[in-house]
């Protein structure tokens, strides 16, 4: 039995042995603790244990490395899912809106024009609101274009009516003056 720090093991009055950490050449870096064992109400001895602090530190390093790698892996996985979510819910819809806006009045016949109404973007954020506004803009612009075409047709018809006599249907003085201007220009 080894001696205690002060050279005396506890007796029945002071049976608790405090845990101590020692670093000696003979035993190494140890944490030592003892627990009293009682038999028939008398102190029979102490149950002692020595734990190598080198082993504790090695386990601690191992757990720290495992935890760090697990956290790194979890961070990478969360980052990947975050990027996929942002791509699906922000980047793709914005690119789709941008392409549709570019093609809206494009002179290229290979692309679909006026396609905002056909877009399917299911988001309840600013992108969804933007799509809703773009769809309304497309409806309004198409209505304005149709109104302009109707106005142009009506204007052409009224110009034709302005150059003919309403009763006889023969060309009038305005038509004569327009024809003179055209001939002078050709000359």
- 124-162 pLDDT tens trace: 788 888 888 888 888 898 889 899 999 999 888 887 777
- Encode pLDDT of 80-125 as tens digits: 999 999 998 889 888 888 888 888 777 777 766 677 877 787 777 8
Beta bridge partners of residue 164, listed in sequence order: 171
> Is there a contact between 164 and 172 (Cβ–Cβ < 8 Å)?
yes
Q: What is the DSSP string of the chain?
A: -PPPTTS----STT--EEEEEEEETTTEEEEEEEEEEEETTEEEEEEEEEEEHHHHHHHHHHHHHHHHHHHHHHHHHHHHHHHHHHIIIIIHHHHHHHHHHHHHT-S-TTS--S-GGG-----SSHHHHHHHHHHHHHHHHHHHHHHHHHHHHHHHHHHHHHTB-TTT--B-HHHHHHHHHHHHHH-
Q: Is residue 5's pLDDT more than 70?
A: no
Average pLDDT, the chain: 84
> Is there a contact between 163 and 172 (Cβ–Cβ < 8 Å)?
yes
Distance, in Å, from the CA atom of 81 to the CA atom of 75, rounded to the nearest integer, reads 10
**What pTM, to 2 d.p., does this model score?**
0.51
Instruction: Give the residue from 58, 1, 59, 62 showing the smallest Cα distance to 32.
Output: 1
Q: Is residue 14's pLDDT more than 80?
A: no
Confidence class of residue 66 from pLDDT cuts 50, 70 and 90? very high
Buried b (16+ CB within 10 A) or exposed e, 94-109: eebbeebeeebeeeee
């Amino acid at each position: 039995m080894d001696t205690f720090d002060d050279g005396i093991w506890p007796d029945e009055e002071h049976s608790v042995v405090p845990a101590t950490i020692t670093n000696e050449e003979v035993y190494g870096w140890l944490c030592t603790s003892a627990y009293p064992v009682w038999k028939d109400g008398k102190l029979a001895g102490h149950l002692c244990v020595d734990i190598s602090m080198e082993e504790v530190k090695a386990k601690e390093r191992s757990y720290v490395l495992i935890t760090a790698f697990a956290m790194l892996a979890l961070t990478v996985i969360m980052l990947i899912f975050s990027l996929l979510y942002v791509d699906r819910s922000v980047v793709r819809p914005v690119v789709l809106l941008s392409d549709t806006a570019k093609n809206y009045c494009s002179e290229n016949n290979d692309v679909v024009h006026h396609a905002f109404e056909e877009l399917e973007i299911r988001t309840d954020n600013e992108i969804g609101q933007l799509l809703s506004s773009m769809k309304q803009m497309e409806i309004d612009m198409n209505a304005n274009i149709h109104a302009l075409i109707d106005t142009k047709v009506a204007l052409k018809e009224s110009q034709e009516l302005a150059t003919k006599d309403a009763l006889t249907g023969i060309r009038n003085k305005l038509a004569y003056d327009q024809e003179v201007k055209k001939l002078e220009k050709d000359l």
